[in-house]
Structure 1
């Protein structure tokens, strides 16, 4: 348990921080999960497009190879040197664009044809012109297919890496961060409950001690009152005894005086 939680001091402030962290982790997990699902959907679309592009590429490249063979046969030799000498400006250019997919920037390539440039319009004018135009058209299709395949392959590689990273983050949040934070919250709550029980026990003990002291004080006050009452009672009895003694002495004196008077007369 101690190894699966964070080393924190159990306080109310720490509990609030951990709860905030848990809410943030849950929100992040949800967002990353949605991002992973969106990227996976796009990844599957790209895989399907790559499969279609490769199948198309096989047919196009085969047709291009046959058309080049036809050109070589029709012109009676290799026209590569002539083509290189005539090529002055690019007819095909590749433009790069960017596409944002769930926060991931994917490059996209597009083949742009400049129809104003045609350096090979007189190529094969003597013979084989039809085969040259056919080869030019087929190789144009091959360039388009290659650019499309390169665009999808680049997006495939980038998305594959991003999906792996995103899934690792999702798994880390789901299986490490959230359980660790929940264990930390449970630990803090248990410690706070223990502290509350200790505080309650301490207060009860203080209350019992105060009640015991109050009872002792009442007993002492009662004993003091009884002692004072006993002293008062003793004092009253002693005063009454003295008064009785004095009265007896006076009566004796009076009796003696009466006896003396009888003797004189």
Structure 2
């Protein structure tokens, strides 16, 4: 029995044995499910890591193109149009929606970007000059923001998955190295105690059976001795008595005998 793991403080009975066996079965099933969950989440995290790498590379290319596009706008317009755009924009045209994705019981946030086509507060910007460059710059930065939203969604999901995988792995380790061995040691302890009780019960029954056999033998011996004593007494009573010697005339008739008397004639 492992001293480091120990056992549950239970009373060794048949009912406790059944409870511990049920607990062991549940722990093994839970360990298997947690193991599968950890493997699924780890695989999904690897997929998210690959997508994050692709999104970062795409983000670098898009931001490079956007920077060149902004330089073209500054060259074509001949000044800073940021103040004009800020004053013209009243509502956000680029918006983000959030939803959740269920991955093996873990809800991961996902951000989706969409553009409101009905809102175009600075549609007349660049009407005088540089309109095409401004339009291309706006489209380029819209793609950059979409890539940024995608990257933010992937990185958020990665952080959540990393924390969940750590928790699941701790539970798997605890179930594998603490809960299951502790339950198994408890079952071994209960079985050993029940076996000891069975041996004690068998020894007790053996002693009781021997005592009963001795009592029966003594009772049979007493009955046999009583029968022998009664037989000896009956034999002594049935022995014939010895005849006493006669003191009178041997020819004297027996008055009380069975012979017939002579008739008396008057």
Alignment of 1:75-90 (within 5 A): 75-90=77-92
Deviation of 1:230 after TM superposition, in Å, equals 2.7
Match of 2:112 in 1: 110
After TM superposition, the runs of 4+ consecutive aligned structure 1 residues lying more than 6 A away are: none
Match of 1:40 in 2: 42
Aligned match for 1:248, one of 244, 249, 255: 244
Match of 2:65 in 1: 63
Query: C-alpha separation between the residues in 1 aligned to 2:182 and 2:89?
Result: 66
Query: C-alpha separation between the residues in 2 aligned to 1:25 and 1:144?
Result: 45
Query: C-alpha separation between the residues in 2 aligned to 1:102 and 1:154?
Result: 17
Match of 1:99 in 2: 101
Aligned match for 1:215, one of 199, 214, 217: 217
SS in 1 for 2:244: helix
Match of 2:138 in 1: 136
Query: C-alpha separation between the residues in 1 aligned to 2:247 and 2:72?
Result: 178
Query: C-alpha separation between the residues in 2 aligned to 1:59 and 1:8?
Result: 66
Q: Which whole-Å deviations, capped at 9, do the CAs of 1:61-86 have from their partners, x for residues lacking one?
A: 12212222222222222111111011
Q: Which stretch of the first structure deviates more once superposed, 219-228 or 202-211?
A: 219-228
Match of 1:181 in 2: 183
Match of 2:204 in 1: 202
Deviation of 1:9 after TM superposition, in Å, equals 0.5
**Higher share in helix:** 1
Query: C-alpha separation between the residues in 2 aligned to 1:118 and 1:258?
Result: 174
Q: Which whole-Å deviations, capped at 9, do the CAs of 1:25-78 have from their partners, x for residues lacking one?
A: 122122222222221221111111101001111111122122222222222221
Query: C-alpha separation between the residues in 2 aligned to 1:44 and 1:136?
Result: 34
Match of 1:151 in 2: 153
Query: C-alpha separation between the residues in 2 aligned to 1:61 and 1:221?
Result: 117
Aligned pair count? 250
* Unaligned ranges ≥5, structure 2: 252-266
TM-score normalised by length of structure 1: 0.88
TM-score normalised by length of structure 2: 0.88
Match of 1:262 in 2: none
Match of 2:264 in 1: none
Match of 2:261 in 1: none
Query: C-alpha separation between the residues in 2 aligned to 1:197 and 1:184?
Result: 20
Query: C-alpha separation between the residues in 2 aligned to 1:99 and 1:201?
Result: 65
Aligned match for 1:19, one of 5, 21, 24: 21
Alignment of 1:226-265 (within 5 A): 226-237=228-239, 240=240, 243-244=241-242, 247-249=243-245, 252-254=246-248, 257=249
SS in 1 for 2:176: helix
Deviation of 1:258 after TM superposition, in Å, equals 5.3
Query: C-alpha separation between the residues in 1 aligned to 2:152 and 2:203?
Result: 74
